Structure 1
């Protein structure tokens, strides 16, 4: 206690705190002064644990006693105690905080999660200099990847690093609270939009049977239509994606036609891929999604016209695949019950994150596929391993739920499972005393995290190996061929330029090229007609001279 009073009076570790955030933390400081603080932890970590203790209704001493009784000896080792105990308190507090309706709309919650990341980077008393927990503080990718997945809607272990890269791309890979807070606010808006759409009467007779949630709607604005191509027919309409199916309603004069249903939840050998479209069956514009299944007589193409690029199509392609791949995962591992709802919830959360990030202005276009968990697992070399570990985790959770029901504690456990959260020891595995919270474990990597790390490492090795092979091919060719390649480089650049014009990547350049080329063709045709007339006149005059008896060989 005397040591704490000396630190506060001296102000050495809290000088930054008293100047910048005293209005926010003065109550916490006063309460810690009058309680037993934890000397192994840094001042920011002590403050964070105090805030966690208030959320949990436990004293800091009680939290430490619970940690000592539940954690393994390796977690309690002096070298790792500070960070492990901080994670333990943060994860427990977050697990309880997210059960409050509208928690993302609470500024204190958003600030709390970010401050947890700041404290995570400097947990021990020996961690100096201490960070500034204020509006100017920043966090790195490791802190974000540890704390953010504890709130399932904010991130998960598969895509947390990609979310961080998007958020911190313009700030030297350090995330500022202003950007993080903006992301969570947009995420709350996306959640409210999902709830309002799902509660609306839109397609309610068709959705009611499975309780489908509407994830996205497009084609309601005349300036951004959605065109359905079936065979040679094309019709504009409204496209709706739910967590089970895709619906298209053709637009008539004043209303929509009966919806066509493309079911993504059935095993119909569906194929969803990008497609080229154009007038009269030509393949000019890369702005469409191709859909085929065994239930259709002929494939369907959904076109998303836009003046420049194909980001709108890429977004729809990614979210359609996310729902489709989630159901394929359910079929493959035969997952049902509450675990099935949790898998669909993971896909829904991923789409909500993409929608939130889309609303934020970034200089670089979003790669939606890299932000959606099931899309990522489909692309990574060891993506099947990630899905297998996820299925095993869900299976073990189901066994824990059955045991909880048998012991009379099923209601609370089922609620936690539906929220994507379970906190406690992993009792399903022998000699495993890890403290789990959802997909992460206190102080250790779960099997799912290890699978993600291995898959990403394998992918990086494949990319590096391919780059090395390409480099060897260039370095090993004959000098004459290398010279020839350099001479042909302008032709290659010219070809790329023609392709960009063909795909209308820059509509103004493509339009200008078409006008100029049309002018050249018309001018050439006019010149040809003039030459034909001149030739006709000349040869006509020669025939006349010949008829008069003159020698034409000298003409």
Structure 2
């Protein structure tokens, strides 16, 4: 604790944590600039923080530890909270939770200014206890546990001034932790306050990854292991590669994020054309580097720039020896700067998680640079975007190395990848852009121009947090004095970025639920799918069947009545109301079902399944269907080739006849009203089976078919592609 007291005893000058409290620029300045009186300095080490009546016993124990770290009495912190946030909701639960957030955010900010704070066990324990206290902040949330531990002389010299919350809060936290774990809401409100731990955009997916095997509740052991793994990843990255080390010559502000291919049993193969070569692959904040393995040494690195605007594409791809497409374990990189696509293969015996991991982190860097170019961001805004992407890669590395799990679809821990895949992800990026524009003291309106009244300036939080951990994306930041290193969190409310993220997560949840129903109703087999489609289209098929019966003139009276009614509707121009009436009828049915059918679950659609067929019979059915489709395509091609022959007068007599018919049709369309044309066409088609003209109709159809058969098809010549370039 001596190191903590020495740290907090310094006069720290900081501005208001802008991400915490909207329109309150002086909230934390008064805390960190506060000068202690002489009496307070003398009594602080042995003073006992008083409990806050509105808080639960465990929340008071957390606040007591925060009070010791901040060197401020608890009652004064509460007074400052009341003065800085006078409009906060005074409901007991809301007030106590907001007060706890206020104090917790200050403490996390103060502790994150220490060097190597991720290695501090007290930081990990206190951050977790803040989440536990957030779930039961009010005085009525839980009863005070019986405290049986005694106070040691090392903690306090005067037993009369001994405080339960000050002396034994850690023991209480351990006992509390045995009974409770942390839920997603508490984690999402506390963890993003420390930028290195979580991003507000991906915090829910991070929680899902940490609790994938613990019933969606976070235990301290898992949380502690995650932070220790994150600390290990950050230190390993700092010590791995530096500019001008080995064959890599990194530019200023370029950070090496991941290296693979250094272990002989897990090489990385680069395929260009039919050649392949093992080597070492390095991803930085700006590019990919591949170093081919020579005789015991690595050759000069080939650089694939991810920051340049060269129409770059990165996607999963199949690869194999001599260009064969056998194994789905490669990433393809293609741009205008390379002649042939480059395939980077990540061999492994089982699955393709190694390839998928590299695909994700490469796409994250690429999409971050695309976001920067799209909005033409300034240098400091660009560094802030890259810092957010770098922290995301650090977190996914920590999860992967500590728990050996890989994020699935909609569960990525990378900000720009998630925005690309989530419904409404473009809204997330737009809100993030508004946050970035505040770094230069500007905020766009609907037209994209800055408003007349300038908003207050924001700090590049992620860039400063990354710089404090020892990484340099930008040499001169210009925010050293009054920097704020708190994440995108506000006390007692949600900021716009958190709101839009929650909306996107809600939309994605509905999309996943809908997709689950789609997966449930999928059936296998061509005959089964045809049976399902036939049943679904039954109303339309039945309507077509009844019209066909009327058109066959089996009942002359019904057919005549239907024809007269239809012609009368066309003449009176009522035909145009048919489609609107159908649409209105469907809308009324849907609204009726919504109003009166809520309590009735939708009954499953019953379909009589066809007889079961073995694999050979299904293959034969598939072959038959493919043959029929091929025949239809052939008939379509023949039709088009005969039309081509008519256009180019291959058969002059037929061409003359078609030309005359086209001129006659043009005159009809020019001088006859369109409704009469429709009526004539329908009457002609409807009365073909009429007893008085059935024989004549069949004769004309036969003559037309014979005439069509005599028309030759235009010639076709198949030319093989020139594959000389491919062979070379």
TM-score normalised according to structure 2 size: 0.56
Name the CA distance, whole Å, in 1 between partners of 2:244 and 2:376. Answer: 32
Deviations 1:305-360 (A, max 9, x none): 11111111011111111111111111122222333222211111111111111122
Relative to structure 1, is the Cα distance of residues 217 and 35 closer, same or farther in structure 2, using a 3 angstrom cutoff?
closer
Preserved contact between residue 195 and residue 462 of structure 2 (Cα < 8 Å): no
Structure 2, unaligned runs of 5 or more: 1-43, 146-171, 444-455, 468-483, 524-530, 536-605, 620-728
SS at match of 2:264: coil
Change (3 A) 1:66 1:300: same
TM-aligned CA deviation for residue 481 of structure 1: 7.6
Aligned to 2:203: 160
Residue 50 (str. 1) matches residue 64 (str. 2): yes
Which structure 2 residues correspond to residues 108-507 of structure 1 after superposition, within 5 A?
108-129=122-143, 133-134=173-174, 135-136=177-178, 137-199=180-242, 201-202=244-245, 206-207=249-250, 209-362=251-404, 365-367=406-408, 370-399=412-441, 418-419=464-465, 437-468=486-517, 477-478=533-534, 483-484=609-610, 487=613
CA contact (8 A) 2:439 2:459 kept: no
Aligned mates of 2:74, 2:249 — CA distance in 1: 52
Say if 2:192 and 2:489, in contact at 8 Å, map to a contact too: yes
Normalized per residue, the structure richer in strand is 1
1:201 Cα deviation (Å)?
Answer: 4.7
Distance 1:81 1:32 in 2: 29
Checking the alignment, whether the CA contact within 8 Å between 1:122 and 1:130 is kept in structure 2 is no
> Per-residue CA shift, 1:371-393, capped at 9, x if unaligned?
21111111112111111111111
User: How far apart in 1 are the matches of 2:463 and 2:403?
Assistant: 35
Q: 2:85 maps to which residue? A: 71
Please name the residue that 1:105 is paired with. Answer: 119
Structure 1 position 198, deviation (Å): 3.6
What runs of 5+ residues in structure 1 fail to find an aligned partner?
1-29, 402-408, 422-434, 494-555
1:147 is displaced (CA, Å) by 0.7
RMSD: 3.2
Distance 1:488 1:212, change over 3 A: farther
Q: Does the aligned pair in 1 maintain the 2:274–2:322 contact within 8 Å?
A: yes
Contact 1:68 1:76 in 2 (8 A): no
User: Is residue 198–residue 212 contact of structure 1 (8 Å, CA) maintained in 2?
Assistant: no
Q: Do 1:342 and 1:420's aligned partners in 2 also have CA atoms closer than 8 Å?
A: no
Question: Structure 1 273/54 Cα, relative in aligned 2: closer, same or farther at 3 Å?
Answer: same
User: Judging changes above 3 Å, is the alpha-carbon distance between structure 1 residues 139 and 477 closer, same or farther for their aligned structure 2 residues?
Assistant: same
Other-structure match for 2:98: 84
What CA deviation, in whole Å up to 9, does each residue of 1:483-542 have, x standing for no partner? 24864689999xxxxxxxxxxxxxxxxxxxxxxxxxxxxxxxxxxxxxxxxxxxxxxxxx
SS at match of 1:483: coil
Matched-pair contact (CA < 8 Å) for 2:52–2:60: yes
Relative to structure 1, the CA distance from residue 179 to residue 108 in structure 2 (aligned partners, 3 Å threshold; closer, same or farther) is: same
CA contact (8 A) 2:357 2:406 kept: no
Is the Cα contact below 8 Å between 1:420 and 1:438 reproduced in 2?
no
Deviation of 1:395 (Å): 1.4
